[in-house]
Every structure is written in structure tokens, then in C-alpha cells.
């Protein structure tokens, strides 16, 4: 979030990344654990950097490297001036020699989840609609206006059930536990099963001669100690052509309260909060990113309601 | 006896009122969930759309490190790796 509005809002950095580098964005929680070719290549770069003693900890940051895996530079600072300097140094140190493409001889399946054939990707975005105190802190201002992004995945069977006019219980549970979360300021805590106090989500019968159906619902999520909660209503539209869902847009809106370990500085008390859902069309590269809640545990993501 | 007769008169009236309220509630829950009607849904859905003109969106990000490595080797360019906790194009 912060990088997008600072480092990657700088025209000089954007121009250099477009023209002089091959830019790649990764969730390093995957690559630093992957027991496969990609994981080895990534750790090989990190081990030459100031992050070399990462152990079980994070390797978060910005890296530059040659295609052969030779480390060129590192920064975990978001100031554009520092990143400009890092890019210039990397280009000065880089020797454009022939490098062999790295071929994956091993793939760690735990960290390469794939959307099942016939499944659906639904874009999920969230925003705090109000309640923040005014701040002079530019970083906090970025968080305060942030719109988050994640993906909801549905199986082919769940896709078919939507066309038939029903939302499976496991989908309702997956949405409530993993996607009605406040991830606008960082990685959010997901809801535990016993924190879903209620979740109603239905597709109303179609009006005559209409392929458009209304999605309605309401929900109450709350931690056992009451410190964090989200209560609200859902409304949206589902359309299909008999074979495929062609539109699946809905919004959950209500009152949120509380924060998580990595989502501090939430507004005090209850605040208005909304989560939108939109059928992805694969026009955005972020449509290919697995759901945050599936990280290293895709089976658990699918089986959430069992 | 007068009290009983009065009750008999009032009871159907109360039942009529109750059924009218219930019908109204059913109508309301079917078409307009409290706090989120069709117009509000449309407005919020639009409000939560990302700004496609944001500079970071114009950068041709790869999401596979090995795909990026192969392209970098082919084009003889260095790699730039944006590595975060949570996917940088997603939640962080």
C-alpha cells in the first residue's frame, strides 16, 4: 500500500523499472519457504544481501539482481530518493553477460496453488469509509484512504451452484471468515469459525424474463472477547448465460471495530466499512494471485466449512 | 363479558396489523436490506474500484520469479524484486 503511493508513484522510478529492469512482485512468505527451484533462486539472492540471516523471519524488501542470481542491491526503505540511488547503482554494477534461463526442476505444490478448471475468481476490495482522525502523517494518510485487494476463489462445482441460484454453505463460510476482513492497513487476522455468529447470503429468485438476480444477506462477525467485530448487510447482482456466471458483483457494508497485529491505527470505536466483490475477467495481473488466506494451505481454504 | 367482547373485537384488528407489518418486513428484506439498497450498492461498488491511472499499475509486473528471470536473461536486464509480506499487488 505504502510503496504504491510513494516509491512507485515516482516518475523516475517508474520509468526506470519499465525500461531498464524486469520487475517482479512476490509474496516472499512463499519464496523463502519454497522447497523448489524458484525458492532456491530467491534465497540465493537474499543470502547475498543484508537479509542473509533471515532464519524463519521475513525477507521483505526491494532487491535488484542479475539474471544469473548475482545480488546487486537491497533496500527496505520507501523513500523515492533512496530507491532511485539503488536503481542507479544496480545499473552501474550490472554486467549484461549471457545468462541461462532457470528451468524449474522442482515445484513445491504447497506454494503454487492453482484455480481449478471451471472455477471463478472474484476480486475483493475493502475500504474504511470514515472514522479516522485527521493526521499530518503522510504514511497514515495513505492507509486512511487505501482500497485493499484480494481474490475469492470458487470451484467449478460452486460456480455451477451459483448458476442454479444457490450459494453453498462452504462459500458463505469462506467469504465470512477470509474475505470480510479489514486488510486496508496490512495483513489482517482472519475470523475463526466460532467468531462467525451469523451469516446469511442468498440469491433471490429471478424476475420473469430476467437473467439478473439479486444477492442479499447480513452477517455478524465478532471475536469472543468482543474486541473486534463486523456487522452489516450485503446486496448485489448475479447474472449468467446458463453456462457461466457473467456478473457477480456485491457489497458488504456495515460497522467494523478493532484491529489486528499488523493492521494497527484503525479508527477508534465503530467505523463504517465496506467490502466489494466483482467477477474478475483476467484483465488485471492481480487476478492471478491466490487468495491471501490460502497461503501455504490451499486445502484448508477449500475445506473451510468442513 | 364486555371485556371479552372487546378483546374479540380487538384481536382481529391486532392480527391484521401484525400481518401487515410482517408483510412489509418481508417486502423490505426481499428488496431493500436495511442500510444497503440498490443505489447504495451501486455507489459503493463504484467507490471501491481502483484508480487505473495510478503509476504503479503502469509497470509491467511479473508475478513469477522464474518467468521474470527468463525474461531478464533474454533481454539482458537486471531483475527488480518487490518482495513483501502478503502479495504486493494485493493486500499490502
A45 touches chain B (CB under 8 A): yes
Is there a contact between A127 and B68 if contact means CB atoms under 8 Å apart?
no
Other C-beta atoms lying within 10 Å of the C-beta of residue A302: 18
Tell me the C-alpha distance between B56 and A153, whole Å.
25
Q: What gap in Å lies between CA A205 and CA A212, rounded to an integer?
A: 9
CA end-to-end distance (rounded Å), chain B: 74
**A22 with B81: Cβ contact below 8 A:** no
Nearest to B73 among A10, A72, A100 (CB): A100
pLDDT at B92: 54
- Place A127 in a pLDDT band, splitting at 50, 70 and 90: very high
Give the residue among A159, A26, A120 at the shortest CA–CA distance from B61: A26
Which chain B residues are closer than 8 Å to A232 by Cβ?
A: 35-36
- Residue pair A294/A109 in contact (Cβ under 8 Å)? The answer is no
Contacts of residue A118, defined as CB under 8 A and 6 or more positions apart, other chains included, come to: A155, A156, A159
Of the partner residues A26, A90, A276, the one whose CB lies closest to the CB of residue B65: A26
Q: Give every CB contact of residue A173 below 8 A, 6+ residues apart in sequence.
A: A193, A196, A199, A304, A305
Question: Do A236 and A277 contact (CB within 8 A), yes or no?
Answer: yes
3 state SS of A284: coil
Q: Is A280 left (phi over 0), alpha (psi -120 to 50) or beta?
A: beta
pLDDT reported for residue B34: 57
**DSSP string computed for A233-245:** EEEEEEEE-SSSE
What is the rounded distance in angstroms from the CA atom of residue B88 to the CA atom of residue A149?
10
Closest partner residue to B36 among A17, A148, A253, by Cβ? A253
pLDDT above 60 for B85 = yes
| Average pLDDT for A53-70 | 94
pLDDT of residue B18: 53
- Return the residue of B nearest to A217 by Cα: B33
Number of Cβ within 10 Å of residue A99's Cβ equals 17
Whether A113 contacts chain B with CB within 8 A = no
Could you tell me the strand order of the sheet in which A71-75 lies? A22-27, B79-84, A61-65, A71-75
Q: A217 CB near a chain B CB, below 8 Å? A: yes
Lowest mean pLDDT among A88-92, A164-168, A180-184, B29-33: B29-33
pLDDT at B15: 56
Cβ(A13)–Cβ(A87) below 8 Å: yes
Name which of B37, B45, B59 is nearest A17 (Cβ-Cβ): B59
Would you state the pLDDT for residue B30?
43
Residue B41 has phi, psi (to 5 degrees) of -60, -50
Instruction: Using CA coordinates, name the residue in chain B closest to A219.
Output: B33
Q: Which of A1, A2, A25, A284 to mutate to test the interface with B (most CBs of B within 10 A)?
A: A25
User: For residue range A108-126, what is the model confidence (pLDDT) as tens digits?
Assistant: 988 999 999 999 999 999 9
List the strands of the sheet with A212-222, edge to edge. Answer: A150-154, A120-128, A270-279, A245-257, A229-240, A212-222, A196-203
Q: How confident is the model at residue B27 (pLDDT cuts 50, 70, 90)?
A: very low
| CB-nearest partner of B48 from A1, A64, A127 | A127
pLDDT at B7 over 80: no
Percent of chain B with pLDDT over 70: 60
User: Looking at per-residue confidence, does A14 or B23 come out higher?
Assistant: A14
pLDDT band at B91 (very low <50, low <70, confident <90, very high): low
Cβ–Cβ gap A14/B83 under 8 Å: no
Does position B11 have pLDDT exceeding 80, yes or no? Answer: no
**Integer Rg of chain B from CA:** 31
CB-nearest to B78 from A11, A72, A235 is: A72
Q: pLDDT digit string (tens) for A241-272?
A: 999 999 999 999 999 999 999 999 999 999 99
Position B31 confidence tier, pLDDT thresholds 50, 70, 90: very low
What's the mean per-residue pLDDT of chain A?
94
Q: Which pLDDT does position A254 carry in this prediction?
A: 97
Q: Is A107 exposed, middle or buried (0-12, 13-18, 19+ CB in 10 A)?
A: middle
Say if the Cβ atoms of A289 and B44 lie within 8 Å.
no
What's the pLDDT at A6? 84
Provide the shortest C-alpha distance from residue B8 to chain A (in Å). 39
Cell of B65: 520469479
**Residue A92 contacts B where some CB pair is shorter than 8 Å:** no
Inform me whether the C-beta atom of residue A292 falls under 8 Å from chain B C-beta atoms: yes
Mean pLDDT, chain B, rounded, equals 77
The residue whose grid cell reads 496453488 is A113
CA gap A189, A192 in Å, rounded: 9
User: Could you give the 3-state DSSP secondary structure of residue A126?
Assistant: strand
- Give the distance from residue B88's alpha carbon to the nearest chain A alpha carbon, in angstroms: 6
A38 contacts B66? CB cut-off 8 A: yes
Quick one: cell of A197? 455468529
CA distance linking residue A141 with residue A132, whole number of Å = 9
Amino acid at each position: 500500500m505504502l510503496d504504491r503511493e510513494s516509491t512507485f508513484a515516482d516518475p523516475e522510478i517508474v520509468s526506470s523499472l519499465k525500461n531498464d529492469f524486469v520487475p517482479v512482485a512476490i509474496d516472499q512468505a512463499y519464496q523463502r519457504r519454497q522447497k523448489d527451484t524458484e525458492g532456491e533462486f530467491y534465497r540465493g539472492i537474499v543470502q547475498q544481501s543484508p537479509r542473509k540471516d533471515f532464519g524463519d523471519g521475513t525477507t521483505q524488501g526491494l532487491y535488484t539482481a542479475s539474471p544469473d542470481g548475482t545480488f546487486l542491491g537491497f533496500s527496505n526503505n520507501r523513500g523515492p530518493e533512496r530507491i532511485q540511488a539503488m536503481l542507479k547503482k544496480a545499473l552501474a554494477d550490472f554486467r549484461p553477460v549471457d545468462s541461462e534461463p532457470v528451468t524449474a526442476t522442482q515445484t513445491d505444490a504447497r506454494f503454487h496453488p492453482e484455480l481449478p478448471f471451471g472455477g471463478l475468481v472474484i476480486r475483493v476490495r475493502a475500504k474504511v469509509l470514515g472514522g479516522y482522525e485527521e493526521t499530518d502523517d503522510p504514511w497514515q494518510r495513505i492507509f486512511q484512504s487505501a482500497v485493499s485487494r484480494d481474490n475469492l476463489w470458487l470451484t467449478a462445482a460452486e460456480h455451477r451452484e451459483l448458476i442454479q441460484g444457490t450459494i453453498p454453505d462452504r462459500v458463505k463460510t469462506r467469504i465470512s471468515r477470509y474475505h470480510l476482513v479489514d486488510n486496508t492497513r496490512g495483513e489482517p487476522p482472519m475470523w475463526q469459525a466460532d467468531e462467525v455468529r451469523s451469516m446469511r447470503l442468498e440469491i433471490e429468485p429471478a424476475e420473469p424474463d430476467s437473467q439478473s438476480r439479486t444477492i442479499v444477506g447480513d452477517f455478524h462477525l465478532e471475536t469472543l472477547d468482543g474486541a473486534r467485530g463486523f456487522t452489516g448487510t450485503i446486496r448485489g447482482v448475479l447474472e449468467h448465460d446458463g453456462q457461466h456466471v457473467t456478473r457477480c458483483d456485491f457489497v458488504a457494508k456495515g460497522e467494523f471495530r478493532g484491529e489486528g497485529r499488523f493492521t494497527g491505527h484503525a479508527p477508534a470505536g465503530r467505523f463504517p466499512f465496506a467490502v466489494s466483490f466483482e467477477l474478475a475477467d483476467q484483465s488485471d495481473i492481480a487476478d492471478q494471485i491466490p487468495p491471501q488466506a490460502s497461503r501455504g494451505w490451499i486445502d484448508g481454504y477449500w475445506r473451510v466449512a468442513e | 363479558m364486555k371485556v371479552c367482547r372487546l378483546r374479540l373485537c380487538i384481536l382481529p384488528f391486532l392480527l391484521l396489523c401484525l400481518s401487515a407489518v410482517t408483510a412489509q418486513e418481508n417486502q423490505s428484506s426481499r428488496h431493500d436490506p436495511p442500510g444497503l439498497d440498490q443505489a447504495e450498492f451501486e455507489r459503493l461498488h463504484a467507490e471501491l474500484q481502483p484508480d487505473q491511472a495510478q503509476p504503479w499499475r503502469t509497470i509491467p509486473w511479473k508475478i513469477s520469479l522464474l518467468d521474470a528471470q527468463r525474461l531478464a536473461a533474454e533481454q539482458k536486464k537486471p531483475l527488480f524484486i518487490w518482495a513483501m509480506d502478503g502479495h504486493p499487488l494485493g493486500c499490502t
